[in-house]
Amino acid sequence: MTKKIAVLGAGAIGSSIAADLVKAGHDIAVIDQWPAQVEALKAPGLHIQMPDADVNVPVRAFHLCDLASANLEFDIVFLAVKSYDDRWLAEFIKPWLKPDGVLVGTQNGMNDDTLASIIGRDRIVGCALELSAEIFTPGRVKRNTGHKTTWFAVGELDGLYTPRVKEIAAILGSVGRCDVTSNIYGAKWTKLIANTMTMGPFGLLGLGNSEAASLPGMFEISVRLGRESFAVGAALGYRTEAIFGLRADEFAGSSDENLVTAMKTLLGHVSRGRTAPIHDHLKGRRSEMEYISGVVSKKGRELGIPTPCNDAVVEIDRQINRGEIRMDRSNFERLKARV
């Protein structure tokens, strides 16, 4: 365990990853832009509350400005920030990434090509993940997926199986199940499909995942969202991949059957929690749905593929972000009216 590892972004996801890696004995530095979080990590450390365990660990934490004098270099950087922050933070961390170092985007969305344009394609390893967590108090994270239901897939962008991607999978194995895939773009798009089916509509309502999923008509809308996202991904050349630790035979069948399997598996993992856009809206921040449902809408327009359901989710989310409407259960009626 001689690798120097940074977790850049100490929100709910980054903190959950960092805590398990510290506990496993890795050399971890946590870097974040939220001053109160960094100060909390410097003092009592990280407290992660999970369904199956509580983790309390001390961590080495740094403000962004600390790196200028910290004399650090990293072999691996796990980037755990919102998609709208990945470009500038990739530029920020680039000087502290070793020449043969690698950056792993532990994020939602299809960000790897953006990261590659900054860091270099040969220094990016792709990652798809399911890890549900939330943070509202500095230093304290409520992690909704325990180790058995947390899942990662990592892969080289060119699909090769390499020693470094196997090493990264072994490291992330301390956090949850981690598969190695030769189809990382397909795995990430399949996860994006699942997110458009759940995160997209649920994030408009402010409800817990179980309550949102049980609303009359939600299942049908979720399947329509998934069909649109699947059609756009297929036109882009992405092959769906068995995700969330499912076996290939469990992911066999028609595209609709696969969509429903992915959605139900995801909901089984995160039924206790609320989806990430809800956390953002509660904190007064804009969500990252432009990088999830918004990508489907944008690529659909470019390809001439209608995406009315994803378009509706994106527009209602934009209205919430602009403060024109509130995140509220009544937005489900707005969504149904539009689709």
Judge whether 70 and 45 are in contact, CB under 8 Å: no
Kindly report, residue by residue over 54-81, the tens digit of the pLDDT.
Answer: 999 999 999 999 999 999 999 999 999 9
- Give the pLDDT confidence score for residue 262 in this predicted structure: 72
Kindly report, residue by residue over 142-157, the tens digit of the pLDDT.
Answer: 999 999 989 999 999 9
Partnered with residue 151 across adjacent β-strands are 130, 177
CA quadruple 40, 44, 46, 52: dihedral, nearest 10: -140
CA distance 313 to 225: 9
- Give the pLDDT confidence score for residue 264 in this predicted structure: 74
Residue 168: name the closest of 127, 115, 112 by CA. 127
Kindly report, residue by residue over 16-42, the tens digit of the pLDDT.
Answer: 999 999 999 999 999 999 999 999 999
Kindly report, residue by residue over 156-190, the tens digit of the pLDDT.
Answer: 999 999 999 999 999 999 999 999 999 999 999 98
CA distance 305 to 230: 11
Please provide the average confidence, as pLDDT, over all residues in the chain: 92
247 has a pLDDT exceeding 80: no
Residue 103: name the closest of 92, 88, 91, 119 by CA. 119
- Give the pLDDT confidence score for residue 270 in this predicted structure: 60
Q: Tell me how far CA of residue 57 lies from CA of 10, 19, 53, 139, 291, in angstroms.
A: 14, 6, 13, 10, 33
Kindly report, residue by residue over 304-323, the tens digit of the pLDDT.
Answer: 999 999 999 999 999 999 99
Q: Quickly list DSSP for 189-246.
A: HHHHHHHHHTHHHHTTTT--HHHHHTSTTHHHHHHHHHHHHHHHHHHHTPPP---TT-
- Give the pLDDT confidence score for residue 52 in this predicted structure: 81
245 has a pLDDT exceeding 70: no
pLDDT category at 240 given cuts 50, 70, 90 is confident
Q: Across the beta sheet with 4-8, what order do the strands follow? A: 60-63, 27-32, 4-8, 74-79, 97-105, 124-130, 151-156, 177-180
Judge whether 183 and 155 are in contact, CB under 8 Å: yes
- Give the pLDDT confidence score for residue 209 in this predicted structure: 86
- Give the pLDDT confidence score for residue 51 in this predicted structure: 86
- Give the pLDDT confidence score for residue 261 in this predicted structure: 74
Element (H, E) at 97: strand 97-105
104: DSSP letter: E
Element (H, E) at 140: strand 140-143
pLDDT category at 249 given cuts 50, 70, 90 is low
Q: What is the identity of the amino acid at 19?
A: A
Residue 233: name the closest of 180, 198, 192 by CA. 192
Residue linked to tokens 């009592």: 44
